[in-house]
Amino acid sequence: MLKIAPGLPARLLKFALAGLVCLSFQSLAAPLQLQINGSNTIGAQLGPLLVEGMLQELGATDINVQLNAEPQEHRITAVSALGEPIEISLNAHGSTTGFTGLIDGTGQIAAASRPIKDSEVEALKDAGDMLSKEAEQIIGLDGLAVIVHPDNPLDILNVEQIAQIFSGQVTDWAQFGGQQGKIRIHARDSNSGTWETFRDLVLKPRQLDLQADVQRYESNADLSRAVSSDHNAVGFVGLAYIQEAKALAITAGESRPMYPSKALVAAEDYPLARRLYMYISPEETNPLALALIAFTQSKAGQDIVDQVGFVGQNITAGQIAPQPYMPDDYRKLAEEARRLSVNIRFSEGSARLDNKAWQDIDRLLEYLQAENKTERKVTLVGFGDPRSRGAELLSRLRARTVSAALAGRGIFVKDVIGIGDDLPVAANTHDDGRHKNRRVELWVY
C-alpha cells in the first residue's frame, strides 16, 4: 500500500488516491506509463531508485530497472499488484529537457537541479501555476563541490577566486599559492542544471562568463573521473559525485570556510547548496506520476535521497559547539539546546514562506509530535543582512512569521530571537547572498 507523505497537497492526494482506486478496479489493455525527463544529477541514480521504491510501495512485482548510462536513458518495467504491465522511462539529458517535455507533452514530470525559469512558467501557464506548492516539489538537497586532483595542495577558495578561475582571469595555480601549473577547467554541459546552478551562483552575480575553451561533460561522474586523473584540473559536481577527487572548502563574504558536508547542505548554509526538484502540472492526473511525487516526500523516499549521497529532508537534531565569535544569546542557546537540521527561508523579495518551508513545517510537526515537543520546546532564531534598515528587528519579525505558521499547525514556540546580520552564511554583496542570509533557524530543548 502506498504511504502518502504528510503535507502532500490536497489536490495531488485526491488524484493519487483516485488513480490508485481506478487501477484496482479496471483491467487496462495498454501498459500504465510514465515519462520523466530532465536532470542527469537526479536521473543517473536517484530517479531510478525513487521509482523503484515507489513501485515496491505500490506492491508491484517483477520490477526490472534497465540503466543505460551512455545515452542517459533508463527504463523501468514492473507488473502491478493486479497484473497490469507498468512502463516508466527516465531520460536524463539535463534540467532544461525536463521542462521541454512538460511543454510539448512528452513527459509528465520534469526532474530539475535548478528552479524553473520565468520563461518556462509562462510557457506552461495553461498547465496551471508551476510556482505553486502542488507543482514545485523539492525532493532533496545537494551541494556543488568544487573539486581538484587529490594531490593539489590548496584546501580553501572563496567564491570570488572560483569565479576568477572559471572565467579565465586566473590561469595558473601559483597565483593562489599552489604549485605552478596551468589550470585546466572541466564543466558540465549547457543543458545541465548543475551548470546553470554554478553559473547563477558563481559567475552571473559577477557578470562573468565561463572561459571558452573548457572541456564540457553531460555526466557528473565522467567529469569527476577526469579531474581526479589530472593534477592541474578543476571542476564542479554534485555532492554525490566527488568520488576520488578532492573537494575544497569554500567561503563567501565573511562566512567561515565550509566543506560540502551533509549538515551544512541540509541547512542550506553551504555557499553552493542547491535544491533538487520535480515539477508536475497541478492538473496532472497520471496516477503513477502522483504516486511518485507522494513517495519522494515520504520518509522512505527521503531515506533513499540520503542513501544515494544527496541530502534528505528528514529532520534531525544535532549539538552545536558554542564558539567565542557567537553572539551571547546564540552561544547560550548552543549550550542549552540542539539545532534542527532545517532552516526556514522565504520567497525571494517577500516575507512569504517559500514552498520548501511549508513542506518542512509539515515534517517538523511530525518530528515534534514524535518527540513530544510541540509545547514551548522550540526557539526560533532569525537572521538578516546589513542592507536592511533595522536588521535585528527584521530578523526577529522573520522568526515571528515562522512562529505564526507553526502555531497554525499546533506548534507553540518557547522564544524568538533576532540576531540581525551576525553569522552570515553568504556574501552580502549580491542579491542571492543577501537572500540566503535572511533565514530562521530552529532549536529544540
Q: What is the pLDDT of residue 27?
A: 45
**Residues 427, 369 within the same domain:** yes
User: Distance between CA atoms of 64 and 226, rounded to whole angstroms?
Assistant: 31
Of residues 263, 414, 252, 408, the one with CA closest to residue 343: 263
Of residues 171, 172, 176, the one with CA closest to residue 154: 176
**Residues 15, 129 within the same domain:** yes
Report yes or no on 387 lying in a domain. yes
Which residue segment(s) compose the domain that 207 sits in?
143-263
Q: Which DSSP category does 94 fall into?
A: -
Total number of domains constituting the chain: 3
Mind listing the pLDDT tens digit for each residue in 90-138?
Answer: 999 999 999 999 999 999 999 999 999 999 999 999 999 999 999 999 9
Per the structure block, which three cell numbers stand in for 346? 522565504
* Cβ contacts of 114 within 8 Å, gap of 6 or more: 95, 193, 196, 197, 200, 274, 277
Name the pTM for this structure: 0.81
> Out of 10-14, 16-20, 169-173, 301-305, which region has the weakest mean confidence (pLDDT)?
10-14
CA dihedral 320, 324, 329, 335 (to 10 degrees): 40
Report yes or no on 425 lying in a domain. yes
User: Distance between CA atoms of 162 and 160, rounded to whole angstroms?
Assistant: 5
User: Distance between CA atoms of 55 and 354, rounded to whole angstroms?
Assistant: 30
Mind listing the pLDDT tens digit for each residue in 224-254?
Answer: 999 999 999 999 999 889 999 999 999 998 8
**Residues 170, 102 within the same domain:** no
Q: Which DSSP category does 200 fall into?
A: I
Q: What is the pLDDT of residue 384?
A: 85
Which residue's C-alpha cell is 519522494?
296
Q: What is the pLDDT of residue 71?
A: 84
Q: What is the pLDDT of residue 20?
A: 52
Better-predicted residue by pLDDT, 349 or 420:
420
pLDDT band at residue 69, thresholds of 50, 70 and 90?
Answer: confident
Q: What is the pLDDT of residue 19?
A: 52
pLDDT at 10 over 70: no
- For the segment 421-438, the average pLDDT, to the nearest whole number, is 79
**Residues 167, 122 within the same domain:** no
**Residues 98, 165 within the same domain:** no
The one-letter code for the residue type at 49 is L
Better-predicted residue by pLDDT, 152 or 349:
152
Q: What is the pLDDT of residue 388?
A: 61
User: Distance between CA atoms of 402 and 411, rounded to whole angstroms?
Assistant: 10
Mind listing the pLDDT tens digit for each residue in 350-379?
Answer: 778 999 999 999 999 999 999 999 999 999
Report yes or no on 4 lying in a domain. no
> Out of 253-262, 337-346, 384-393, 417-426, which region has the weakest mean confidence (pLDDT)?
384-393
- For the segment 245-267, the average pLDDT, to the nearest whole number, is 92
In whole numbers, what is the pLDDT of the chain averaged over residues?
90
pLDDT at 5 over 70: no
Report yes or no on 3 lying in a domain. no
pLDDT band at residue 406, thresholds of 50, 70 and 90?
Answer: very high
Cβ count near 174 (within 10 Å): 13
